[in-house]
């Protein structure tokens, strides 16, 4: 099928590339001319495992193209996916101005029947507003359908998530677009759920909020484990084997971040308030998440006492492993807190250092993770990169003024670290 994707962020670029990979002809649209030029030249603006190779492969095959013209994308496709940002506003509500602008641009370019798909994460009722906008601004007065098709991609695993999805959710207001949407997703061999638009929009926010709840739950349990002398990893393993619960998202740490969970959680709370329900449970999820970082910083200050003029090595800047995304990163937040206390930092991340530099201009960036500890008073593990498990502990121990490590992601074994002579502080163990 002929598809266009408007927006080439994480969702748009991965979606368009994977659609091309299974045989569809895709035009990706972005209003950032420099980004389009980069993509046309074979580069990509983000790090996502496996993505660069797929982009190059499908561009070479002629199935994937890039343009800065929305009209070109609309006129050369049957189905148009909207994948533009939906950033949070100060009160937690979602800024839908990008969606509205794109809906107007689509309407202006339409001269025949189109299926317009909301791929961006949007509040319930957004599909209705998109339909109203297109109808209002479409001079050609042609027929169209608006569909909700929420994404469930995890940064760092997005290609796999799209190529092998758990499910595909399609929200429609009429039967007409359902067959085409099924055809688009048939190559992915996943269960397809066809529902009404409002339900589809709520599924996304409800899913992300529930996953955030699981993280805050296990972090709360971790605090109980510390007080009781238990091991949160053993507890998580024990409850995770129950197939009603599952082990995923039960990893204690310094809290969740990124561009999705905090935003979607706030949005779902706001959406609920607007329709008359106070979602106090999700407010508690937010509180526990914020408290988790406070507790971790307290561990550092309790151990090092005064942080002023202390030098600390930080491993990890991205909000999670396998990505260069530093938006709402707990690791960045932690660095800011340490700097505010007067510490100086040596930092390393396998992929995110370039993007972190505008947020953390006054730290020392170190290319080799094994050199981070040089001259430091302690090391902090802030992101769960697998590479960090291979840290040269003997070298780090010699480089530090005292062998202290604060493991915010529970990457190392406490008994082994004690045996090696480390003062080792982790989460919930």
CA distance 36 to 155: 21
The DSSP element (H or E) to which 181 belongs, if any, is helix 178-185
Q: What is the DSSP string of 256-320?
A: --TTTHHHHHHHHHHHHHHTT---HHHHHHHHHHHHHHHHHHHHHHHHHS--TT-EEEEE--SSS
* Active-site residue (options: 18, 138, 225, 260): 260
List, in sequence order, every beta strand (DSSP E) within 328-409.
344-348, 364-365, 378-381, 404-407
- In three-state secondary structure terms, 347 is strand
**Separation CA 116–CA 255 (nearest Å):** 36
Measured in residues, the chain has a length of 429
260 is catalytic: yes
As a whole number of angstroms, the distance between CA 158 and CA 178 comes to 24
Q: Which residues contact 65 (CB under 8 A, 6 or more apart)?
A: 26, 27, 28, 59
d(CA 384, CA 181): 37
Alpha-carbon gap, residue 130 to 125, rounded angstroms: 9
Asked if residue 190 lies in contact with residue 158, where contact means CB atoms within 8 angstroms, the answer is no
For 217-253, letters b (16+ CB in 10 Å) and e give bbbbbbbebbeeeebbbebbeebbeeeeeeeebbbbb
For residue 95, count other CB atoms closer than 10 A to its CB: 13
Going from the C-alpha of 277 to that of each of 273, 289, 417, the distances in angstroms are 5, 22, 48
* Residues catalogued as catalytic: 260
């Amino acid at each position: 099928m002929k598809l266009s994707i408007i927006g080439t962020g994480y969702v748009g670029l991965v979606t368009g590339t994977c659609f091309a990979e299974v045989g569809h002809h895709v035009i990706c649209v972005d209003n950032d001319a420099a980004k389009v030029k980069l993509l046309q030249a074979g580069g990509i603006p983000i790090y996502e495992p496996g993505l660069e190779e797929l982009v190059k492969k499908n561009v070479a095959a002629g199935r994937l193209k890039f343009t800065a013209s929305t009209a070109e994308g609309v006129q050369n496709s049957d189905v148009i996916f909207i994948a533009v940002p939906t950033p949070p506003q100060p009160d937690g509500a979602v800024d839908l101005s990008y969606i509205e602008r794109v809906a107007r641009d689509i309407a202006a370019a339409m001269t025949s029947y189109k299926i317009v798909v909301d791929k961006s994460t949007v509040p319930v009722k957004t599909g209705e507003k998109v339909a109203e906008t297109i109808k209002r601004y479409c001079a050609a007065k042609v027929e169209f359908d608006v569909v909700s098709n929420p994404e469930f991609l995890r940064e760092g695993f997005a290609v796999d998530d799209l190529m092998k999805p758990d499910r595909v959710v399609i929200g429609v207001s009429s039967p007409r677009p359902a067959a085409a949407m099924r055809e688009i997703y048939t190559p992915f061999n996943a269960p397809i759920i066809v529902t009404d638009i409002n339900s589809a929009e709520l599924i996304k926010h409800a899913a992300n909020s529930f996953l955030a709840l699981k993280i805050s739950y296990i972090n709360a349990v971790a605090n109980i484990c510390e007080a009781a002398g238990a091991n949160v990893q053993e507890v998580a393993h024990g409850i995770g084997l129950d197939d009603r619960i599952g082990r995923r998202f039960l990893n204690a740490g310094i809290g969740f971040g990124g561009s999705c969970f905090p935003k979607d959680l706030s949005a779902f709370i706001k959406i609920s308030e607007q329709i008359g329900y106070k979602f106090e449970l999700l407010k508690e999820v937010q509180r526990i998440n914020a408290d988790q970082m406070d507790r971790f910083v307290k561990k550092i200050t309790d151990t090092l006492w005064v942080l002023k003029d202390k030098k600390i090595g930080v491993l990890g800047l991205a909000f999670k492993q396998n990505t260069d995304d530093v938006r709402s990163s707990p690791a960045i937040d932690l660095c800011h807190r340490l700097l505010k206390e007067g510490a100086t930092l040596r930092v390393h991340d396998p992929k995110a250092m370039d993007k972190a530099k505008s947020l953390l201009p006054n730290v020392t960036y170190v290319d080799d993770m094994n050199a981070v500890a040089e001259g430091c008073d302690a090391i902090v593990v802030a992101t769960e990169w697998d590479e960090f498990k291979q840290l040269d502990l003997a070298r780090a121990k010699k480089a530090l003024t005292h062998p202290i490590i604060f493991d915010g992601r529970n990457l190392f074994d406490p008994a082994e670290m004690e045996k090696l002579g480390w003062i080792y502080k982790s989460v919930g163990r």
